A and B are shown apart, each in its own frame.
Chain A
Amino acid sequence: MTLTAPNADKVEQDQAGNAFQSAERSPGLLRESSWARWVRRPGLRRRWFRPNRLVLGLAFVFLLLMVAWALFPSLFTSGSPSATDPLTTLRAPSGTFPLGSDQYGRSVYTELVYGARTALEIGFLCTLLGGGVGSAIGVLSGYIGGAIDMVVMRCVDVLMALPPLFLALVFIAALAPTVTNEIIAVSVATIPLFARVLRGRALEVRSRVFVDALTVVGVRKRRILWRHVIPNCAAPGMVLGSITIGTAIVTGASLNYLGLGPTGVTSWGTLISNGQGYINKEWWIAIFPGVLITLLVLSVNVIADWLRDVMEPSSR
């Protein structure tokens, strides 16, 4: 899922001041009705959202905070995410429980801090693992071409016929519910997209004239692959990877929510499902983890967006 506004650069132009009169630029607007002209008054033509510096900075800060939570949870909270206490159940947010407590008397804040590790682990590891395998398959298949390419791509077609969550579910169904297996399942779900996108890229790179030139000069195929094709595929791979982190986090949280994740691990998804029965009065149990997931995915996506602008200027 891409989050850019492909028109962003157009807006940028407007911002640069060369024309608030885009009405003159575009023939379609030659005959604007008066109300349309009214809303197009220069004063109203301001940009509301575009991953500008401020938003981007906030996204980075938030992501770093989450990484810090994941790495050193004990620095941010003194409590334990698993210690239950029948005396402090379902407390509203207060001094001792900044974000309230759940039905087992655990501090929601503490659980959120410890849950960050689960979320980021799935987000980053699955992207690395699934993205790595998928990219390798895609690049090789695209570069080698021929019958191998055809067979591989038919297999990818088959995997693509399953929505990613379902692909992960099939693996979850077959494997025991452990952290490793959950990561494997979500990783597998990311493979097909990587394979397809990077195969396209590899095909495109292979067909460029400079590759022919290298072949003519006598460079071996393997060397072309390592020194030229793979580096040229790195940028789209990284862009796709940065987007995938968000999807992987969501898939992982959804699996945990459905109760199909590992048992005994603190995660935001589990917290939401725990809090669901209490949403009427003790809403803080289910809402806060949801907000956190959204913010995390949003910041990852904003960063991904920026990364695309930096790495693939042509796609803007």
Chain B
Amino acid sequence: MKRIAIGIPVVIGVSAVIFFVLRVLPGNPVDVITQGAPTTPGERHNLMVEFGLNKSLGDQFVLYVWHALHGNFGASFQTRQPVMSAIGQQTVATVELALAAMVLTVVFGVVFGMLSALFENTWVDSTIRVVSLLGTSMPTICTGPILILLFSFTFHWFPATGSGSLAELVLPSVALAMVTSGFVIQLVRNSLLEVIELEFVTALYAKGLRERRVWIAHALRNALLPTVTVLGVQLGVLLSSAVIAEQIFGRQGLGSLLVNGINNKDYPMVQAIVLLVATAYVVINVLVDISYAYLDPRVRTAMTR
């Protein structure tokens, strides 16, 4: 409960930061919208009134928060349509991509982390470590084109661009997972190696359990605890890379909407998308904290006390 209570002011704070950064810093959206077309001061004034930019900053913010609480994030400066309807359509695509990448991250992390730990200091371990290091150092803008070149144009396995079918989801989610899973692999590996040295593992062996069962049923379970926390943080990396991956792989989603919004100084659009992402990030990290308590009995008892 306490965790949720902390999350709410953070989200409010984020909305304030986005709002004031956009409005206080120089740059006038009216200039961008009327770009190229000759305008009279009257027309410009009308636009300012339409966008509510003529009111004082304080009033604008109060109005913004008031509307936002009612689920209304304003109309786009560009299309004059409510931003929420535009965002709503695109969110599904982005969530799909982020989820797929998250699943891949967990699978890669657990499988390769475990292999790496099992074969500690062998060539298997070293290969996994080098590749995961490479993955974390390679930004999405580099992996994206390489994956496209290799798997769509050379081997013709997956389509390069587009969104909709499952095959089109493969390359972008792999590109995203490459960035995030390296870290998870390392964490799983290291915490497995730590857990496996603990006394209870010796007890399990002494009890006569098979090695496979000790590793999977007992050691892995314990080793995954710290991983859960990291996954929440990695989601932030994943969300920002998703914006880029969507551009690279020509996918629908919040990415293109956001980039367009920024280029056109479409404040309501940018505000709504960034706030949405931040809220999702905060909510998921709160959930991670809560789930942690359920996964780890020690934390649970500490909390109820």
Smallest Cβ-Cβ distance to A43: which chain B residue:
B122
Given the known interface contacts A36-B118, A290-B146, the answer about A3 and B18 at a Cβ–Cβ threshold of 8 Å is no
Question: Would B149 and A287 count as touching, CB distance under 8 A?
Answer: yes
Which of B121, B186, B281 is in CB contact (< 8 Å) with A47?
B121
Residue of A nearest to B140 (CB): A254
Q: Which of B46-54, B164-172, B193-201, B296-304 makes up part of the contact surface?
A: B193-201
B190 and A7 within 8 A (CB): yes
Chain A interface size band reads 35 or more
Among B25, B138, B145, B183: residue with most chain A CB under 10 A: B145
Decide: B263 and A259 in contact? CB cutoff 8 A.
yes
The answer to whether A279 touches B153, judged by C-beta atoms less than 8 angstroms apart, is yes
What DSSP secondary structure best describes chain A's contact surface?
A: helix
Taking CB atoms and an 8 Å cut-off, the chain A residues in 248-302 that contact chain B are 250, 253-254, 257-260, 269, 272-273, 275-276, 279-280, 283, 286-287, 290-291, 293-294, 297-298, 301
Neighbour of B133 across the interface among A3, A154, A254, CB < 8 A: A3
Main secondary structure of the interface of B (DSSP, over half): helix
- Give the chain A neighbours of B212 by CB distance below 8 A: 33
> At the interface, yes or no: A85 with Cβ under 8 Å from chain B?
no
Interface residue ranges of A146-166 to B (CB < 8 Å): 154-155, 157-159, 161-166
Interface bits B8-40 vs A (CB < 8 Å: 1, else 0): 011101100110011111110000000000000
Q: Give Cα A294 to B190, complex, Å.
A: 25
**Residues on the A chain within 8 Å of B205, using CB:** 27-28, 30-31
Question: Does chain A have a CB within 8 A of B126?
Answer: yes
Question: Which residues of the other chain, A, contact B262 by a CB distance below 8 angstroms?
Answer: 169, 172-173, 260
User: A176 in the interface, Cβ–Cβ < 8 Å?
Assistant: yes
Per the bound structure, the CA–CA distance linking A166 and B22 in Å amounts to: 13
Segment of B56-64, B88-96, B101-109, B270-278 in the binding face: B270-278
B186 A176 Cβ-Cβ under 8 A = no
User: B8: shortest Cβ distance to chain A, in Å?
Assistant: 11
Contacts of A228 in B (CB 8 A): none
Report Cα–Cα, A230/B134, bound state, in Å.
34
From B193, B211, B237, give the contact of A36 (CB < 8 A): B211
**A164: chain B residues within 8 A (beta carbon):** 236, 240
Contact A39-B119, Cβ < 8 Å, known A165-B240, A259-B263: yes
Do residues A49 and B126 form an inter-chain contact, with CB atoms below 8 A?
Answer: yes
A1 at the interface (CB under 8 A from B): yes
A215 to B24, CA, bound (A): 43
Does A209 make an interface contact (CB < 8 A)?
Answer: no
- Contacts of B248-264 to chain A: CB distance below 8 A: 248, 258-259, 261-263
Minimum CB–CB distance for B64 against chain A, Å: 15
A204 partner residues in chain B, CB cutoff 8 A: none
Asked if B155 CB lies within 8 Å of chain A CBs, one says: no
In the complex, the chain A residue whose C-beta lies closest to that of B264 is: A173
Q: Is A62 an interface residue (CB 8 A)?
A: no
B194-243 contacts to A (CB < 8 Å): 196-199, 201-202, 205, 210-212, 214, 219, 236-237, 239-241, 243
In the complex, residue of chain A having the shortest beta-carbon distance to the beta carbon of B275: A162
Chain A residues with CB below 8 A from B18, complex form: 170
* A226 nearest CB across to chain B (Å): 31
Q: State the B residues within 8 Å of A (CB).
A: 9-11, 13-14, 17-18, 21-27, 118-127, 129-130, 133-134, 136-143, 145-146, 148-149, 153, 160, 183, 186, 190, 193, 196-199, 201-202, 205, 210-212, 214, 219, 236-237, 239-241, 243-244, 247-248, 258-259, 261-263, 265, 267, 270, 274, 277-278, 281-282
**20 A-B contacts (beta carbon < 8 Å):** A7-B190, A27-B205, A46-B121, A162-B14, A163-B240, A170-B17, A172-B262, A173-B267, A246-B137, A253-B139, A253-B141, A254-B140, A258-B259, A259-B263, A269-B141, A279-B153, A286-B145, A290-B142, A293-B141, A297-B138
Q: Which 6 pairs, one residue from A and one from B, show the smallest C-beta to C-beta distance?
A: A48-B126, A290-B142, A158-B13, A165-B240, A163-B236, A28-B196
